[in-house]
A and B are shown apart, each in its own frame.
Chain A
Amino acid sequence: MKECCICGRKSVDEEFCEYHQAAHINLKSVFEIWVNANRGVTWEEYIRQVYELEETGQWVKEIIENIMSQNGP
């Protein structure tokens, strides 16, 4: 059984558990709203800004940490 690379729960897509997978999908789908709102925002800028916002959900923040750690500083 594959484990979620973030929390160790059972993974549903070889990488993330159902919660982190849902957070990943949410993060990707909201990017379009940010692009429409703020033309020129890049994916990197978007995730950095979302990460810094207090309102951002914990699982979303964990996904961003995971993405950032893969991409390097």
Chain B
Amino acid sequence: MVLTEKPSAAKKIAAALDNTQSPKEIKRGKVVYYECKKENDELVVVYAIGHLFELQQTEKGWTYPRLESKWVPKYEVDKKAINIKPIINLIQKLSKDVDGFIIATDYDIEGSLIGYLTLKYACKADPMKAHRMLFSSLTDADLEKAYETRGGLDFPLIEAGHVRHEVDWLYGINMTRALTLAIKNVAGWFKVISTGRVQGPTLSFIAQREKEINLFVPTPYWTIHVIGDHKGNEMELEYFKKQLSSKQDANRIVDDLIGQDAVVDVINQRTVTQPPHPPFNLSSLQAEAYRHFGFKPSRTLAIAQSLYLDALISYPRTNSEMLPSTLDIKGILTGLGGMKDYAYMAKTILKGNLVPIQGKKTDPAHPSIHPTGEKPTKHLSPSDKKVYDLIVRRFLSLFGEPLIKNHQRADIICGSYRLYVRGLQIVKQGWSEFYGPYFKAGEKVLPNIDQGDIVRLASVNSENKYTQGPARFNPASLLKLLEKENLGTKATRSSIVDSVKSRGYTQGEKFELSNLGFAVFETLSQFIPDVLSPEMTRQLEIEMEKIQEGTEKRENVIRGAKTSLLKQLAEFKSKEDQIGETLVEGLQRYWKDTEELGPCPKCNDGILRIVKSPKSGKRFVGCSNYKGGKCDQTFPLPQKGTLSPMDSTCPYCEYRMITVTSGKRVWTTCINWSKCPGRQDDLKALDDRRSKKKSDDIGG
């Protein structure tokens, strides 16, 4: 039995291993498996869907501390995971009639653990007797080689996976319950407030940045803009100081320079040689995809994962910036040479020496991300195509010659003042020719001037500007920080970045901390600051590495984690009331900001709030006096997108304005939009659009 991680991987692996490359697909209800023959071995290829087993507490009660757990089928913990049951049942049934097991899940901590747990709890097999296929891409050649060279299971890697799950479970479940119960005990509300081993430090980074932004006071500065005239040709000159901190100084410089003749003192040239960028690992791919396409890291990871499952690229969850010497570079380039878009570049590279540039970062399991050279067998979506093109071009650029550019600067003097004019010239395109659209040259021609020439300073102005506060994080910069701080893993970072947003701790594309996020941060930093510190997580990552190297034992790490957690929880318990009060205050501020829309215009003493109908699940604006039967004022609301109350009122009807954010679309309207005299034209246009769509749909 060959155990794989996903349905598409099972299909690919079965086809690659089968003697005729046409395995038999057998359906059992909604689940399929494959039968194939590899030489004389008869193989049954089955799949998991990620983790089939999860940790569940063994002691009773939704409280804390809870330290003991066991592995159970995922559907027993997550009621939505009903699709897991038939898969486990099928694996259980088929495993009774096989002679041996081969784990062919992704070669990383999670993949190894998935294989081990399935083997142990679904197949009830002895892991010591099982085999492991190790591969970095799903190409036929790699899979066949992995089958031929299969060895035993990598137990240190599995142990490290166990530790991560157990520690995450311990911290996640206990801290989340502690925070949630602190609120319940103080206010009687049940609002789940989560935190975790990596989520806490991530929230802390965002909150610290938000504090800096909120405390920022801009200071003024001035810049000098000079237009020179050289033999009738205009040129832009830079004043040698980029910023002046006084208005008086700026005015004096303008007065001293305007209309004066300046002399070209010296022209300097500096040649810079720039080697290609290193090969992609997951973080650099995610950063580059965000820069060029605006894709969130989690989206890039999902696309890269799908390209990997289609055998178009190597395994994407890698830290490595290196390509091993054993990689069939010639084969990959030959494959790429068969694709219209890359044919010319691949053939050019094949004529040269095939030594790629290497980066510094390494990964024990996988090389850097690279194309496999296989042709796509199905149509790639535009997003898939973009990421694939980026990966291929980065790979091709590794074989390019260095880029050579000349930086030129002419120094122009006028009395004691110095001015510059700059040029940038690409002398040799080198690798940038292959990287194509992802390289911005920024060339600028230096005006045709010589030493001793006179430049008349025709126009001199000063501009008043203000210093900028720190920038908020974007998904790519937050991901980069997590990597720099060694928090989380290449596989988990993007979901952590997403989770702070999905839990309501941040809002908007740029990770603006919400009142809820601030309340959680304030509470944790006041009462249990260790949870926000990256130190604990960093220490655990080090211990996990030691487990992988075989120099530390899982039991010791878990024992240490439990001891430290118990200490933190005891401290928490002693301050539970204070913690609950701080959180409740924060939640009230959060709800006021996100749900309250000011006084009710009908009864005058109620507050308008965004509420959700328990019956229909639809949201609308209602009056707080509805419960007492005193007021029935309601307003309909758009059902899609995120709503944020604004401080302003509608210029037509004077009702409160709201912002609606749906995907990339952001618009504003008033809560009275259905009756607002100023919005009737918009409503008519909307009706017309809907009617047209309906008639188009009917017309086919």
**A interface residues, Cβ below 8 angstroms from B:** 7-9, 19, 22-23, 26-27, 30, 33-34, 36-39, 50, 53, 55-60
The one of B215, B221, B589 that contacts A37, using a Cβ cutoff of 8 Å? B221
- Give the contact-size bracket for chain B: 20 to 34
Residue of A nearest to B249 (CB): A37
Residues of A within 8 A of B589 (CB): 7-8
A-B contact pairs, 30 of them (CB 8 A): A7-B589, A8-B585, A8-B589, A19-B215, A23-B214, A26-B217, A30-B217, A33-B219, A33-B245, A34-B219, A34-B220, A36-B245, A36-B246, A37-B219, A37-B220, A37-B221, A38-B220, A53-B218, A53-B466, A55-B216, A55-B466, A55-B469, A56-B216, A57-B214, A57-B216, A57-B217, A58-B214, A59-B215, A60-B215, A60-B217
Q: Are A30 and B219 in contact (CB under 8 A)?
A: yes
A27–B218 Cα gap in the complex (Å)? 10
A65–B589 Cα gap in the complex (Å)? 19
A20–B466 Cα gap in the complex (Å)? 22
A57–B220 Cα gap in the complex (Å)? 15
Residues of A within 8 A of B248 (CB): 39
Contacts A37-B221, A57-B216 known; list 5 others, CB within 8 Å: A8-B589, A19-B215, A55-B467, A57-B214, A59-B214
The B204-258 residues at the A interface (CB cut-off 8 A) are 211, 213-221, 245-248
* 8 shortest interchain CB distances as A-B pairs: A57-B216, A30-B217, A57-B214, A59-B214, A55-B218, A58-B214, A33-B219, A37-B220
A57–B692 Cα gap in the complex (Å)? 47
Minimum C-beta distance from B219 to chain A (A): 5
Residues of B within 8 A of A8 (CB): 585, 589
Residues of A within 8 A of B215 (CB): 19, 22-23, 26, 57, 59-60
Residues of A within 8 A of B247 (CB): 37-39
Residue of A nearest to B247 (CB): A38
Question: Given A8-B585, A8-B589, do A56 and B218 touch, yes or no (CB 8 Å)?
Answer: yes
Question: Given A27-B217, A55-B466, A59-B214, do A37 and B585 touch, yes or no (CB 8 Å)?
Answer: no
Q: Are A57 and B585 in contact (CB under 8 A)?
A: no
Minimum C-beta distance from B413 to chain A (A): 27
**B interface residues, Cβ below 8 angstroms from A:** 211, 213-221, 245-248, 466-469, 585, 589
A53–B219 Cα gap in the complex (Å)? 10
Residue of A nearest to B250 (CB): A37
Q: Are A60 and B214 in contact (CB under 8 A)?
A: yes
Chain A at the B interface: SS class: helix
A37–B217 Cα gap in the complex (Å)? 14
Residues of B within 8 A of A34 (CB): 219-220
A38–B247 Cα gap in the complex (Å)? 6
Q: Are A19 and B214 in contact (CB under 8 A)?
A: yes
| Most A C-beta atoms less than 10 A away, residue of B213, B218, B466, B469 | B218
Residue of A nearest to B245 (CB): A37
Residues of A within 8 A of B468 (CB): 55
Minimum C-beta distance from B517 to chain A (A): 14
Residues of A within 8 A of B213 (CB): 57-58
Q: Are A60 and B216 in contact (CB under 8 A)?
A: yes
Residues of B within 8 A of A59 (CB): 214-215
A7–B246 Cα gap in the complex (Å)? 36
Residue of B nearest to A28 (CB): B217
A45–B466 Cα gap in the complex (Å)? 16
Residues of B within 8 A of A56 (CB): 216-218
Residue of B nearest to A23 (CB): B215
Residues of B within 8 A of A27 (CB): 217
A50–B245 Cα gap in the complex (Å)? 16
| Most B C-beta atoms less than 10 A away, residue of A37, A56, A58 | A37
Residue of A nearest to B211 (CB): A19
Residues of A within 8 A of B245 (CB): 33, 36-37
Q: Are A50 and B214 in contact (CB under 8 A)?
A: no
Q: Are A37 and B469 in contact (CB under 8 A)?
A: no
Q: Are B246 and A37 in contact (CB under 8 A)?
A: yes
| Most B C-beta atoms less than 10 A away, residue of A23, A55, A58 | A55
Residues of A within 8 A of B211 (CB): 19
Residue of A nearest to B222 (CB): A37
Minimum C-beta distance from A22 to chain B (A): 6
Residues of B within 8 A of A37 (CB): 219-221, 245-247
A15–B220 Cα gap in the complex (Å)? 29
| Most A C-beta atoms less than 10 A away, residue of B211, B220, B246, B469 | B220
